[in-house]
Structure 1
Amino acid sequence: MSIVFLLRRLRPFLFPKNSLREVWARYLLAVYSRLTNCWRGYARWQKNVEQIKKAEGGGVSIETFSFTELDGQTLLKALSQSQAEYILLAAAPLLLADSALDEIKHALQVYPETDLIYTDGDWLDRHGKRIRPWFKPAFGIDSLRAQNYIVPFFAIRKVFGDSIGWFDPAAGSAWAEDLIWRAVERARQVIHIPKVLYHQLEERMVAFDDERRVLERHLERVGWPAEVAPGPAQHTFHLRYHLRCEPLVSILIPNHDLPAELKRCLHSILTKSTYQNFEILILENNSRQPETFTLYEELQRRDGRIRLVEYHHNPFNYAEINNFGASQARGEMLLFLNNDTEVITPDWLERMLEYAQRPDVGAVGAKLYYPQGLIQHVGVILGLLGAGAHQFVNYPRNHVGYYHSMLLPQNFSMVTAACLMTRREVFWAVQGFDSIYRLAFNDFDLCLKIREQGYLIAWTPYAELYHHESLSRGYDSNSAMLARLQQERETFTRRWRALLQAGDPYYNPNLALDRGYYSLRFGKYETTPRAMPGLGGSR
């Protein structure tokens, strides 16, 4: 019997429920399970899950070029003479899986109009053992700009590569990154094959200055220049987009009593925020405590940007009260904020505006912590634990996530409305929150409606707040509320059944949805190529 097994059995007796010690024990057990699942279990996954798909028929010609052949004119001459429809490029020493060409041909049969294809991959250690699998997301431009996960192995349609000029000598060692940026700018469709089709042998030899320069040139070409600094790990970047203007941000905060929480929230906004062009709408909903109304008067006297908007309807409906608040707001930007949040980073509004100002982005989420310093929100995975759930809940705030994902801006299917920014025009274009969701899933539903209109959902780790939601918060003490939550869950899963069945594009289908985050998925299942519009085919 292992020590880990005993710890699991004895945890309820050793640690008080939801104490900080119990939370840490739960976290350490989760990390251990994930490591053993992903590291020890990867060999078992290869044996039991990986399958080779043979392409049926021909019709697609492919030619491969490795990084060793990239000597400028020689390669360009070879490309010009090639009669292949697609060119495969490797930007690092690697071996192709036996099934690689068949899988790529199959993807092209499914999506014959695609311009760019990439795949999952792993590494071979010095003993030839496969390790460190990277199960990648489907194409998302914000995730890609923070960490170019398309390299080191990808395929480009030959006539498309000819049209964009293939290689730019000015890119230097970042020739692959430069080619990818120019490709996604004009690509109609980018395909991700969620299968491990290459095994990397050595690290890519690319200079950071070259990587940064080609990324900056990409941002300038698409009209959204940004300051580009080194990220938390090699081949990652910290982008700070330039604000085009300083729009009025309407901060909407529903409140039912809880004067201490509201005071803490507003005090943090007023004393910490470096962005000053905002208004705060307190959405008063049937409060009874005299202290609450005394606080309202004090706050409005303190700052003329604070307005009290009364909404006296029973029972409480989160969607309705926020829709009403949005109808009273004057700002071009709407920021939905819970009254139990507290600002940490002074430039939180600017960091969210960087993304909300872009016409391709429909909503932006923030990084939220419990007061103990544990993660509350770093993005939501569609289908996780059923309908959808936050990832990495109760992990330490400095946890890096999967391939540093928790430290880098990402595209998600959904983010929480505990702190969510959107443009007024986008919010009303999808008719706001659906009032059928009184308590929960209203933010998930809103994000999916926004995505349905072709917008991106972005999440930034650079806007940080505490969320003083109790770690032990639950609805099991109120059977009526529990029944309501279950009803809303069922409504959500019925409405979005097709998306749930297709799977979250930003979460790899080789990863489990019924247990720990980014654990390997086992059992019989089939992964299919995933198509996303490139910048040449998006809104």
Structure 2
Amino acid sequence: MSLVHRPAVCARLLAFSVHWEALLRHPRKYILATWWYITGKRARSLAHFAPLLGCSRRAYDYWMLKEQKTRPAAIDDDPSIIALVKETPGGDLKATLGSLVSQGIPAFVIGPDARDDLIRLANEIDWAMKPWLLPITSGDVLSEGAAHGYRRGIRGFAGNVVYADDDLIDARGHRMSPHFKPDWNCELFRYFDFVTGTCVVRADCAALMAAVDAADWDGELVRLMLGDGDVKHIRRIHSHRKTRRRPRLPLPQCALPAEQPRVSVIIPTRNRVDLLAACLRGVADTDYPDMEVIVVDNESDDPESIRFLEDVQKTGIRVIRHAGEFNYSRINNSAVDRATGELLCLLNNDIEMIDRDWLSCMVVQALRDDVGAVGAQLLYPDGRIQHAGVALGVGGGAAHAHRFLRPEDEGYFWRHALPQFVSAVTAACLVVKRDRFLAVGGLDEVKFPVAFNDVDLCLKLNERGWQSLYEPRARLIHHESVSRGLDRDKVGAERLSRELAALKQRWRTDTVVDPYHHPHLSRASEQFVIAI
């Protein structure tokens, strides 16, 4: 019997191939992950293994082999779907048409002279049937059962756009590079059209005619039908594509807000005058007209730090003394009570500024009606990413997305480089309207005195319709936990365990699927890699 008919043997061979590649490419990391596994630290081992194995060139082959296959249901024609095939040079039109015919979808070819073809099509379609249109590019093919998947997705759906995941297919028919997409993210779509070519739209004659003069007529049709954002995502691969649209990079410069309201910058600190001095120099050099800087001193006892705090008060910086054990939430809440700014900027004392416009970039986003907390792109001193938004469920709680990625690398479809809605952002550098911060009760001083208070804050804001937003054009350096240290001692580890348990209980992060992540991406890795 051939290996093709022996899936268990194929799975073992592919698994061996994935592990062998990971060992050859990253021997030290692989050995460390193996050591954690042998010593019983399974969660830590999985966190190390996940990015190593998920980045393998054979990882997707293994995922496809292990994926639970379901037999496509019988093809029907309700609701009606009509394909508009965009003919492109070199595109295998025959393959595309064959794929559509096999799944019972009638197709119209839109040639290079798209305007005339689209006008003729508009007159031929029976609009009384209320058809859905499926724009597809020649060379792309539907996956098995895609037509049924789309029809099931649009039945009873009141919106106008339903999109699915996709992958690429090479000349030999080999599938690769899956794109497991986020649920609808209108901010990300501004810079990256991840919908057109893998969606069906509920369009009418007027909408189709409105797109006929656009060079990118299929993309324009999708944009017209997005409307108020009632969009549905099918978390399955429905298209095998020859090429994809690319993000619009580099990003345009941040637009300065028409109004520049006062921002209260709140910086908790304890000793470490070297870090605080560098942070305050960066704040002073920031190009923003109206800032109130509040330093909250949590019992500094170093003489040099005490003298420094006395000196900075003479420059107009407010210094508030906060006694008691370190409670990040209480420290910031007490400063918010005394702040006078319309907006708050929570800022760690171990942050260094790279660009002068970082605060303006964040403020213009925080002033939007639909936005709550705004987070920045934070880099380690060696230039790798420390924070590019927060993904729920990773590690059972929440974790920084795209950590350790180089900003110049593509990563996962350039997600780290694009503004987008996220579930949460870190309070190491966070901007939010003061009234919205207070409306949700600020930071939770009881359940989250040190960790996850920012995640909890963001989720409370999200519940009120003020979505968290990641803004990569605000770039700063973060010396993560340098001033406070890591929670590796027994007391710190027990506290972190309690806060993680509280996060799971309140927000069910151990079971929830982050709408901006994906069930087929690993919950063990902060980098977006296939879950295998």
Give the alignment's TM-score, normalised by structure 1. Answer: 0.80
Mapping for residues 430-509 of structure 1, pairs under 5 Å: 430-436=440-446, 437-469=448-480, 473-476=485-488, 478-497=489-508, 500-509=510-519
- 1:95 aligned residue: 141
1:124, distance to aligned residue in structure 2 (A): 1.4
Instruction: Select the residue among 281, 286, 311 that pairs with 1:267.
Output: 281
Instruction: Select the residue among 263, 277, 280 that pairs with 2:293.
Output: 280
The amino acid of 1:512's aligned partner reads S
Residue 235 of structure 2 is aligned to residue 194 of structure 1: yes
The amino acid of 2:274's aligned partner reads A
Instruction: Select the residue among 241, 262, 285 that pairs with 1:248.
Output: 262
* Cα separation, 1, equivalents of 2:406 and 2:284: 28
Residue 65 of structure 2 is aligned to residue 47 of structure 1: yes
1:396, distance to aligned residue in structure 2 (A): 2.9
- 1:362 aligned residue: 372
Secondary structure of the equivalent of 1:197? Answer: strand
Secondary structure of the equivalent of 1:308? Answer: strand
Deviation string 1:20-45 (CA, Å, 9 cap, x unpaired) is xxxxxxx9998754431xx3121222
* Cα separation, 1, equivalents of 2:64 and 2:411: 23
C-alpha contact (below 8 Å) 2:30/2:49 kept by paired residues: no
Higher relative contact order (CA 8 A, sep 6+): 1
* Cα separation, 1, equivalents of 2:273 and 2:256: 37
* Cα separation, 2, equivalents of 1:49 and 1:260: 53
Mapping for residues 49-448 of structure 1, pairs under 5 Å: 49=67, 51-52=69-70, 54=72, 60-67=79-86, 68-69=109-110, 70=114, 71-79=117-125, 81=127, 83-91=129-137, 93-109=139-155, 112-158=157-203, 161=204, 165-169=207-211, 172-187=214-229, 189-202=230-243, 231-232=249-250, 237-238=251-252, 240-271=254-285, 273-302=286-315, 304=316, 306-312=317-323, 314-436=324-446, 437-448=448-459
Secondary structure of the equivalent of 1:133? Answer: strand
CA RMSD of aligned residues (A): 2.8
1:99, distance to aligned residue in structure 2 (A): 1.0
* Cα separation, 2, equivalents of 1:243 and 1:5: 46
Deviation string 1:298-317 (CA, Å, 9 cap, x unpaired) is 21223x2x2112222x2221
- 2:90 aligned residue: none
Secondary structure of the equivalent of 2:394? Answer: coil
1:455, distance to aligned residue in structure 2 (A): 1.9
Deviation string 1:274-333 (CA, Å, 9 cap, x unpaired) is 11211101112222223223212221223x2x2112222x22211111111111111111
C-alpha contact (below 8 Å) 2:278/2:352 kept by paired residues: yes
1:346, distance to aligned residue in structure 2 (A): 1.1
1:250, distance to aligned residue in structure 2 (A): 0.7
C-alpha contact (below 8 Å) 1:66/1:90 kept by paired residues: yes
C-alpha contact (below 8 Å) 1:34/1:516 kept by paired residues: no
- 1:22 aligned residue: none
Secondary structure of the equivalent of 2:215? Answer: helix
The amino acid of 1:41's aligned partner reads A
* Cα separation, 2, equivalents of 1:247 and 1:197: 47
* Cα separation, 1, equivalents of 2:492 and 2:188: 37
Q: Give the % identical residues.
A: 30
The amino acid of 2:218's aligned partner reads A
Secondary structure of the equivalent of 1:251? Answer: strand
- 1:7 aligned residue: 28
The amino acid of 1:128's aligned partner reads G
> Judging changes above 3 Å, is the alpha-carbon distance between structure 1 residues 372 and 107 closer, same or farther for their aligned structure 2 residues?
same
* Cα separation, 2, equivalents of 1:489 and 1:203: 39
1:100, distance to aligned residue in structure 2 (A): 0.6
1:410, distance to aligned residue in structure 2 (A): 2.0
> Judging changes above 3 Å, is the alpha-carbon distance between structure 1 residues 362 and 73 closer, same or farther for their aligned structure 2 residues?
same
* Cα separation, 2, equivalents of 1:57 and 1:123: 25
* Cα separation, 2, equivalents of 1:171 and 1:444: 45
C-alpha contact (below 8 Å) 1:378/1:392 kept by paired residues: yes
> Judging changes above 3 Å, is the alpha-carbon distance between structure 1 residues 261 and 242 closer, same or farther for their aligned structure 2 residues?
closer
1:398, distance to aligned residue in structure 2 (A): 2.8
> Judging changes above 3 Å, is the alpha-carbon distance between structure 1 residues 276 and 450 closer, same or farther for their aligned structure 2 residues?
same
Deviation string 1:193-237 (CA, Å, 9 cap, x unpaired) is 111101112466xxx9xx9xxxxxxxxxxxxxxxxxx514xxxx5
> Judging changes above 3 Å, is the alpha-carbon distance between structure 1 residues 257 and 150 closer, same or farther for their aligned structure 2 residues?
same
* Cα separation, 2, equivalents of 1:470 and 1:449: 25
1:63, distance to aligned residue in structure 2 (A): 2.7
